[in-house]
Amino acid sequence: MSKIRSAFANGKAFIAFITCGDPDLETTGAAVRAAVENGADLIELGIPFSDPTAEGPVIQAANERALAGGVTTDKIFAFVKELRRDVSVPLVFMTYANVVFSYGAERFLGTCREIGVDGIILPDLPYEEKDEFLPACRKYGVDLISLIAPTSAQRIATIASEAEGFLYIVSSLGVTGTRSEIKTDLASIVKVVRENTEIPCAIGFGISTPEQAKKMSELADGVIVGSAIVKFMAKYGKEAPKYVGEYVRSMKEAMK
């Protein structure tokens, strides 16, 4: 069984996204630990990229700050290896196909296995092109996590039936970022997913309030929050982990 499945074993999963290296890797580590201590069941670690097409302004700015601070893929690998000394929840990288491709897929995914990364999300990788990375992912035991968007329509059943780790259901059209309201008919998407796989599904993009977290957790197996957490990193810098912990606790409480 994929280790990712364990994140969903004790009720609804709260998944926190944090950009590596914003403002620095030491603070990233403190924020990850604060999130886990306050109930995060899985952590998505963003590997910064110069052209993050799926991201809204908040996470784009975090990518720019991290890259300007000198963060690299190798530094992130070393950081995760250190993180794994005391963080046991599943860890997933979220980055772009070009990052993996330019590093060398075999080398990248082999390193993921060495340092204890359980899965990878590539938002710019079309479902039809996943075989570009799937063989190496399987070879090294790294789940290639699929995304389902409101526009996936006829492909939802196919994507769900071949899913690994967990299914990332995108709540709304457009890029990441907090939203005051989520209007997509997510219940019908989740219904098709449930009919085609036993893999857990989590909803992300736009969730920022405890009320939204509660509502989304009633539909799916988990909730993913990124921009709201990254905003704390931008606002409070090195002091952010305390605020991240408090926020994660409030979101997790709402989902119980």
Return the number of other C-beta atoms located less than 10 Å from residue 122's C-beta. 24
Q: How confident is the model at residue 53 (pLDDT cuts 50, 70, 90)?
A: low
Residue 63 and residue 55 in contact, taking contact as beta carbons nearer than 8 Å: yes
Is the confidence at residue 198, as pLDDT, over 60?
yes
Is the confidence at residue 148, as pLDDT, over 90?
yes
Q: What percent of the chain has pLDDT over 90?
A: 83
Residue 94 and residue 86 in contact, taking contact as beta carbons nearer than 8 Å: no
Show the beta-strand stretches assigned E in the chain. Answer: 13-19, 42-46, 91-94, 119-121, 143-145, 147-148, 167-170, 201-204, 222-225
* Mean pLDDT confidence for 90-118: 97
Lowest-pLDDT choice from 35-39, 174-178, 225-229: 174-178
* Mean pLDDT confidence for 187-212: 94
pLDDT of residue 177: 43
Residues 62-80 pLDDT 10s: 999 999 999 999 999 999 9
pLDDT of residue 154: 84
Is the confidence at residue 175, as pLDDT, over 80?
no
Identify the structural domains of the chain with CATH numbers, from first to last. Answer: 3-255 (3.20.20.70)
Three-state DSSP at 37 gives helix
Q: How confident is the model at residue 52 (pLDDT cuts 50, 70, 90)?
A: low
